[in-house]
Amino acid sequence: MDFTPIIDGFGIVLQPTNLLYCLVGVLIGMLIGVLPGLGPAATIAILLPLTYGIEPVSAIIMLAGIFYGAQYGGTITSVLLRLPGEASSVVTVFDGFAMAKQGRAGAALGIAAIGSFIGGTISIIGLSVLAPVVAGYALDFGPPEYAALGLLGVLLVATVGNGGKLKAVIAAALGLLIATVGRDTFTGAERFTFGNLNLADGIDFVPIAMGLFGLGEILYNLEENHKKVHAPAKVARVWPTRQDLRESKGAIARGSGIGFGLGVLPGGGAVLSSLVAYAVEKRRAKQPERFGRGAIEGVAAPESANNAAATSSFIPLLTLGIPANATMALMFGALLIQGVQPGPQLVDQHPDIFWGVINSMYIGNILLLIMSIPMVGIFVRILRVRPAILAPITALITMLGVYTVNNSVFDIYLVIVFGIVGYLMKKFGFDPGPMVLAFVLGTLIESSSRQSLLIFGGDPTGFVTRPISGTIFAAILLVALFPLLRKAFRMRRGDKQPEPAPERLPERETTEAK
Amino acid sequence: MSTTSEPGRQQAAEADILEELKAELAHDLEEERPPHAGPLAQVGAGLVTLALGVAGTVLALGYGLGTLTQPGPGLWPFAVSVAVTALSMAQIAFGRDGQDTEKFTRSSALTALGVLSLVALAALLPVIGFEVPSLVLMVVWLRFLGGESWRMTAVISVLTVAAFYALFVVALSIPLPRLV
């Protein structure tokens, strides 16, 4: 392995401007993590226009900082208010809040910060080792492989995400359809433009992301802004005791492994991995009844896992150009805005971005550790800011921000339309995440499957007979049929309460903890 | 790639305890969410996406499917639209009992008002610049949607618009339409 680009990457991160953007990113991430309401996806979406004006490396360093910073911040509200600031900190509520009631809020926050730091750092090391290998392997991929990978990514994100699976797949398919609006790149024919010149070049990613994620969430939150703010629990002594550390050592290690593993998979990511990490700890505990009543492992494991997953979910994006979750879809869009095509060539063509972004995460995690242990009191005070005050400010940032991208009022209307769509989707149980992800991947899937058909001379069996794309299509079939198979299996067992399968667990621990 | 078989396997092992956890979470958060909207909303949602799917199919046919050797511009949108149509039919047929929708409550009117104020901002921005519409938006959202006191509203609105002016116009010199 050649270490020069890695060391050069550190040189890039340590430039004062990049350090500053890293700090700004993690600070914003921490803030929006603490404030319930806006998630990291919404924040990154809203801030996309800002990235037009700055260097690609700095922009991505900042956006990445927002993403993993939010994982730290989300813990604080889970523990102190029983309100998860982020979806990925939802399970932390159980034991975190119980600990806070017992006067151990400080220990919970401290162990979460330490776990997050360890999980994040382990994951960055894994990312540095694994990413170039995957990228090298992926250089051989042709259009059929990309078509298959793209489809698998969309399908997994839709079926693994929360909410109704059927609706998520519908949302994803509609996202693919929205991606076809505009001039067809192969034939030049206009599709779904209805003669509107503004639509001829297709719908921009920025207004879609800002509308569905950003404004949609703001509008949705408007309905409950009038709720009053709870007084947070008192925080004393943030450092966990030696016993706390001993008890959570294993949980942090397992959580980091699970997070790293699930983060790489499309559809995995921070939310799922925190749930799984919690489930694993509860399953293997000698006294599972302690969980939910202030077991420190119940805080340590999910918090290590969500951070590790947030980091490792960069692997598919940086090496294959396939975003593994909705937030990574936004990163994908941000890179495209900068004229950088994420994919296997990234590590060779733009080593500055590749290693700059990865190495910035070391710095970012150290900054976050500093902010979440000695400075936690400041962030606790921010909890008193009412959502009603933030809502119009974020709405205004969205409106004016999207205007500045193309100086176009049409884009403002587009954001409003997609904001309404995003709001209605949330009301009717459709997750906007798969739609945005499918929209981002839509062009890639369409053009690579059409190129493939040309390569195969019109014979679609070519997709299945090539070894790699064939395997991926087998996986697609598995994912699509899995829910049906499980249903059939359960019905045959007479719809009994499903038995747990404990024999699986030891096996996964050994493979994941590596 | 060994990772491709991973999700299915992992899911199988975790699915049960995950369902349990999710159910517990849903129960926990339930008191804070409006009640679900019932079968009519489920079918309605399916009908809307069905209409989109059918419209997409018809339009895509018009664009020309071409052949597999020479795919036309309509082939891919056609395939996707057919998928949307089929999935929507499944939603209408099997999704009636889902509980993932939310009733519109009285506070949904706040969202409607919020949208109106955004449209007003977009309409007025090119005419009278961004300052006054932004100020109006802030006041509407703070005072009427957020229930803040008049004093709070005045202070925060003026400060925010001033900050935006300083940031966009003075610091970044972005050509935002403006009054002054």
Cβ of A416 within 8 Å of Cβ of B80? The answer is: no
How many C-beta atoms lie closer than 10 Å to residue A47's C-beta?
22
User: Is A265 in CB contact (< 8 Å) with chain B?
Assistant: yes
Nearest CA of chain A to the CA of B160: how many Å? 7
Strand segments (E) across A333-415: none
CB contacts, 8 Å: B70 with chain A: 458
- What is the Cα–Cα distance from B42 to B40, expressed in whole angstroms? 5
pLDDT of residue B115: 95
CB contacts, 8 Å: A173 with chain B: 80, 83-84, 87
CB contacts, 8 Å: B146 with chain A: 225-226, 386-389, 391-392
Give the pLDDT confidence of B2-13 residue by residue, as tens digits. Answer: 344 444 444 444
CB contacts, 8 Å: A498 with chain B: 16
Q: Which residue of A has its CA nearest to B121?
A: A399
In this structure, what token pair is assigned to residue B106? 């009285």
Domain-wise residue ranges, chain B:
2-94, 108-171
pLDDT of residue A162: 56
Q: A46-50, A146-150, A307-311, A510-514: which has the minimum mean pLDDT? A: A510-514
Nearest CA of chain A to the CA of B83: how many Å? 7
User: Is A465 in CB contact (< 8 Å) with chain B?
Assistant: no
pLDDT of residue B22: 65
Looking at every residue in chain A, the average pLDDT score rounds to 85
Predicted confidence (pLDDT) at residue A486 exceeds the cutoff of 90? no
Residue A233's pLDDT band (boundaries 50, 70, 90)?
A: low
Which member of A222, A278, A409 has the closest CB to residue B114?
A222
Residue A228's pLDDT band (boundaries 50, 70, 90)?
A: low
Cβ of A400 within 8 Å of Cβ of B119? The answer is: no
In this prediction, residues B58-79 reach a mean pLDDT of 89
Which member of A184, A268, A400 has the closest CB to residue B168?
A400
Cβ of A419 within 8 Å of Cβ of B115? The answer is: yes
What contacts 24+ positions apart, CB below 8 Å, involve B6-11?
Answer: B6/A261, B6/A265, B7/A156, B7/A160, B7/A265, B7/A266, B7/A267, B7/A268, B7/A479, B8/A475, B8/A478, B8/A479, B8/A482, B10/A262, B10/A265, B10/A276, B10/A508, B11/A160, B11/A482
The highest-confidence range among A82-86, A203-207, A482-486, by mean pLDDT, is: A203-207
CB contacts, 8 Å: B175 with chain A: 407
Give the pLDDT confidence of A121-142 residue by residue, as tens digits. Answer: 999 999 999 999 999 888 888 8
Domain-wise residue ranges, chain A:
4-492
Residue B32's pLDDT band (boundaries 50, 70, 90)?
A: low
Cβ of B141 within 8 Å of Cβ of A391? The answer is: yes
Nearest CA of chain B to the CA of A268: how many Å? 8
Which member of B4, B77, B87 has the closest CB to residue A191?
B77
Cβ of A164 within 8 Å of Cβ of B21? The answer is: no
- What is the Cα–Cα distance from A212 to B17, expressed in whole angstroms? 31
Task: Determine the distance from the C-alpha atom of residue B109 to the mean position of all C-alpha atoms in its chain, rounded to a whole number.
Answer: 16
Mutate to test the interface with B, among A92, A140, A167 (most CBs of B within 10 A): A167
In this structure, what token pair is assigned to residue B170? 């003075």
In this prediction, residues A252-261 reach a mean pLDDT of 94
pLDDT of residue B12: 45
pLDDT of residue A300: 94
Which member of B81, B98, B108 has the closest CB to residue A164?
B98
pLDDT of residue B114: 93
Which member of B84, B88, B138 has the closest CB to residue A392?
B138
Predicted confidence (pLDDT) at residue B175 exceeds the cutoff of 60? yes
3-state SS assignment for residue A279: helix
The DSSP symbol for B144 reads I
Predicted confidence (pLDDT) at residue A225 exceeds the cutoff of 60? no
The complex scores an ipTM of 0.84
In this prediction, residues A15-41 reach a mean pLDDT of 88
Residue A163's pLDDT band (boundaries 50, 70, 90)?
A: low
- What is the Cα–Cα distance from A95 to A374, expressed in whole angstroms? 22
Q: In this predicted model, which residue has the larger pLDDT, B33 or A19? A: A19
Residue B176's pLDDT band (boundaries 50, 70, 90)?
A: confident
Mutate to test the interface with B, among A140, A417, A428, A505 (most CBs of B within 10 A): A428
In this prediction, residues B83-99 reach a mean pLDDT of 88
In this prediction, residues B72-94 reach a mean pLDDT of 92
Q: What is the pTM of this model?
A: 0.83
Which member of B41, B121, B137 has the closest CB to residue A428?
B41
In this prediction, residues A2-10 reach a mean pLDDT of 83
Confirm if A108 and A96 have CB atoms less than 8 A apart.
Answer: yes
In this prediction, residues A103-107 reach a mean pLDDT of 87
Predicted confidence (pLDDT) at residue A60 exceeds the cutoff of 90? yes
Cβ of A391 within 8 Å of Cβ of B152? The answer is: no
Predicted confidence (pLDDT) at residue A514 exceeds the cutoff of 60? no
Looking at every residue in chain B, the average pLDDT score rounds to 83
Taking alpha carbons only, the member of A505, A115, A107, A165 closest to residue A307 is A115
b/e per residue, A326-340, with b = 16+ CB within 10 A?
Answer: bbbbbbbbbbebbeb
pLDDT of residue A496: 46
3-state SS assignment for residue A434: helix
